[in-house]
């Protein structure tokens, strides 16, 4: 629950920031000189990109959470079997071992969104965020019946 609150507070702060930046862009455009209009348009583009990015990220998180809830209801969420260092960090060898199992599971059932979801978790535990995100996007696409990019 604290992650949801943190996400909501961060998103709200970003929206306020985008609003403030947007008003500055409008003020620059209203000033009317070539330089200020150019800067104003440039300043307005940044909040638009930020809002788009925030929207896409929020959609991704909602879809991933929907898959997690469905997998949890089926009793298929991966169990945290990772060894930890005394500092609480995931042991790299343990993460590699679990990752190898998840990868083999996904290779055996490449059309199963559940295996891709578990593989995404394994990538995340192995600190490979980019591949974790791609694997989760693949799981979401399979779940939703959308075409999957290779």
Residue range 89-125, pLDDT digits in tens: 888 888 888 889 999 999 999 999 999 999 999 998 8
pTM (2 d.p.): 0.77
Residues of the chain with pLDDT under 70: 1, 150
CA distance 150 to 138: 9
Phi, psi of 146 (to 5 degrees): -90, 160
Instruction: Give the CA angle between residues 108, 93, 100 to the nearest 5°.
Output: 5
């Amino acid at each position: 629950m604290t992650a949801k609150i943190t996400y909501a507070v961060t998103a709200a702060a970003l929206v306020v920031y985008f609003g403030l930046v947007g008003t500055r862009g409008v003020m620059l455009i209203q000033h009317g000189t070539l330089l200020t209009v150019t800067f104003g348009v440039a300043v307005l583009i940044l909040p638009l990109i930020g809002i788009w990015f925030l929207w896409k990220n929020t959609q991704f998180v909602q879809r991933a959470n929907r898959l997690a809830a469905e997998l949890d209801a089926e009793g298929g969420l991966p169990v945290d079997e990772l060894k930890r260092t005394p500092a609480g960090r995931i042991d790299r060898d343990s993460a590699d071992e679990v990752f190898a199992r998840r990868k083999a599971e996904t290779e055996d059932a490449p059309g199963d969104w559940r295996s891709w979801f578990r593989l995404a978790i394994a990538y995340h535990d192995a600190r490979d965020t980019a591949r974790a995100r791609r694997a989760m996007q693949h799981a979401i696409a399979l779940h939703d019946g959308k075409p999957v990019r290779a």
